[in-house]
Amino acid sequence: MEKPHSDALVFFGVTGDLAYKQIFPALQALARRGELEMPVIGVARSDWSPEQFRERVRDSLEKHGGVDEEAFKKLSARLQFLSGNYADDDTYRRLRELLGASKHPLHYLAIPPSTFELVAQGLAKSGCGDGARIIVEKPFGRDLESAQSLNLTLHKFFAEDAIFRMDHYLGKEAVENLHYFRFANTFVEPVWNSNYIASVQITMAEQFGVQGRGAFYEEVGALRDVVQNHLLQVLALLTMEPPQGSDVDSMRDEKLRVLEAMRPLSPAELVRGQFEGYRDEEGVAPGSVVETFAALRLHIDNERWKGVPFYIRAGKQLPVTGTEVLVRLKQPAHPVFSADRSCCENHFRFRLSPDVMIAIGARTKLPGQSMVGEATELVAQRHAHEEMTPYERLLGDAMHGDTALFTRGDTVEAAWRIVDPVLGNAAPALPYAPNTWGPAAASDIIAGDGGWNELSIEGKKDDPK
């Protein structure tokens, strides 16, 4: 049965930072494509006039991608502002009035996580939740227990297929690409297992620090900010079994299965780091032990991945900004070219940002008499940037009721189960100098597997997220 298209967008947290940086540009892009033929109601405590609201949107667009006058005109004609506190029943009563004949509103909760429950309840009690969908921004919980509790609360008011847990990383073209490449190519599957793969590593490096958001980061740290969500989701896409069907739940079932097969992290396989100078940032406690860097080793206890180590490394103030997956293949047991010492290192490399690249590492013979070669890369795909921003893609999908690129409740919990044992101060936060690859100990956990992939990306400072 075809799912109804949303007929109103209600945007909680419209005066916030995320709205300003990401959502207004995404809404303009949707308006340009004719995908925003509905009222857009912004809700916040502030009491803005319609003009103030429009000015804020224009200002956001000027700073983030530019104003497209025609699309902006369409967008502004749809904007309405509702001032009200989320704790106040009257806010939802007035919202119901504003929604008028709307039968399938999409409620986007771009608000502090502490208010998710309040708003979900307010929507349900007032009738604004009837026939509606709800998008919940990250973070989804702070640990396993809080994620379970949030799932329970949301399920009291909304069915699972009406809940869209946002992990904007899954809306990235490069991440979908990786998934496509894996299952669309016959030559990949035969080697995609412990017989041929020696190790898999993912690095998400940020050249910048906390960018004035020290108070926010103090509550989060690298494990919660990017590992539990974005990077474990990427790892699940890399390692899941082929889905049994082409429907959304077949894929989500396989993601769940592989996350459940990942061993919970142990402090012995984790290195936490903190860049020197972090404690001087505004909003950061002088004795903070929050990690701005994490390097970890994971294991998947199933037939396909028995014995293969998986490494994840994420950090701030590193030498470059970029995200890459490197899949190293095993060397042949009896190398034919024994004189060629580094023969026969093969790999797959997937760059997710700042540009998009898929490459296969191979060796070719150097001209001359001896059978000695050099490393080369066959670049299967390379393009500079994404067609659509993740927020544009995901908002459009949610309006269509398409949950494929959103995280299911049980999958979020499975990912928390993996990181839960090492949250907090499970391993010391070792200091590291800015512009280095984190504490020296991070190299030790991968030393036996060829070391970390040093991303060869130049001079980019953009946020890879």
Shortest separation between residue 16's beta carbon and ligand NDP, angstroms: 2
| Residue 390 touching ligand NDP (CB under 6 A) | no
- Tell the residue number behind the tokens 């949301």, with chain if given: 154
- Residue 85 binds ligand NDP (CB under 6 A): yes
Please tell me which residue in 107, 230, 299, 347 is annotated as part of the active site.
230
Assess whether 347 carries a catalytic annotation: no
SS3 state of residue 123: helix
Residue 193 interacts with ligand NDP (CB under 6 A): yes or no: no
44 or 312, CB closer to ligand NDP?
Answer: 44
Q: Which residue is nearest to ligand NDP (CB)?
A: 16
Other beta carbons less than 10 A from residue 417's beta carbon:
19
Identify whether the C-beta of residue 343 lies closer than 8 Å to the C-beta of residue 365.
no
Using the minimum distance from each CB to ligand NDP, give the nearer residue, 14 or 200: 14
Residue 314 CA, chain-centre distance (Å), reads 13
C-alpha–C-alpha distance, residues 158 and 257, integer Å: 24
Strand order in the sheet with 347-353: 373-383, 356-365, 347-353, 322-329, 197-205, 309-315, 293-299, 270-275, 429-432
Figure out which of the listed residues 3, 33, 55, 87 binds ligand NDP, where binding follows CB under 6 A. 87
Q: Could you say whether residue 140 binds ligand NDP (CB under 6 A)?
A: no
Q: Which residues pair with 105 in a beta bridge?
A: 8
Q: Which residues contact 180 (CB under 8 A, 6 or more apart)?
A: none
Q: Is position 113 an interface residue for ligand NDP (rule: CB under 6 A)? A: yes
What span, in angstroms and rounded, lies between the C-alpha atoms of 313 and 223? 10
18 lines the binding site for ligand NDP (CB under 6 A):
yes
Member of 4, 112, 332, 451 binding ligand NDP (CB under 6 A) = 112
Whichever of 24 and 310 has its CB closer to ligand NDP, that residue is 24
| Contact by Cβ (8 Å): 274, 432 | yes
Q: What is the dihedral angle through the alpha carbons of 308, 314, 319, 325, rounded to the nearest 10 degrees? A: 40
Q: How far is the CB of 201 from ligand NDP (least distance, A)?
A: 25
d(C-alpha 76, C-alpha 72), whole Å: 6
Question: Based on CB atoms, which residue is closest to ligand NDP, 17 or 97?
Answer: 17
Task: Output the smallest distance, CB 91 to ligand NDP, in A.
Answer: 7
Residue closest to 132 by CA, chosen among 168, 100, 96, 158: 158
- Tell me the two tokens of residue 435: 């512009």
Q: How far apart are CA 415 and CA 420, in angstroms?
A: 9
- The span of 126-134, 136-144, 235-243, 373-381 binding ligand NDP (CB under 6 A) equals 136-144
Contact between 137 and ligand NDP by CB under 6 A: the answer reads yes
By CB under 6 A, the residues from 30 to 69 that bind ligand NDP are 44-46
Of 85 and 302, CB closest to ligand NDP? 85
Supply the DSSP string of 328-345, one letter for each residue.
Answer: EEPPPSS-S-TTSTTTT-
Asked if 209 interacts with ligand NDP (CB under 6 A), we say no
414 binds ligand NDP (CB under 6 A): no
CB of 391 or CB of 437, closer to ligand NDP: 391
User: With contact defined as beta carbons under 8 Å apart, do 30 and 397 qualify?
Assistant: no
Q: Does 121 bind ligand NDP (CB under 6 A)?
A: no
When binding is defined by CB under 6 A, the residue of 76, 80, 115, 194 that contacts ligand NDP is 115
Catalytic residues: 230
Q: Which residues bind ligand NDP (CB under 6 A)?
A: 13-19, 21, 44-46, 85-87, 110-113, 115, 137-139
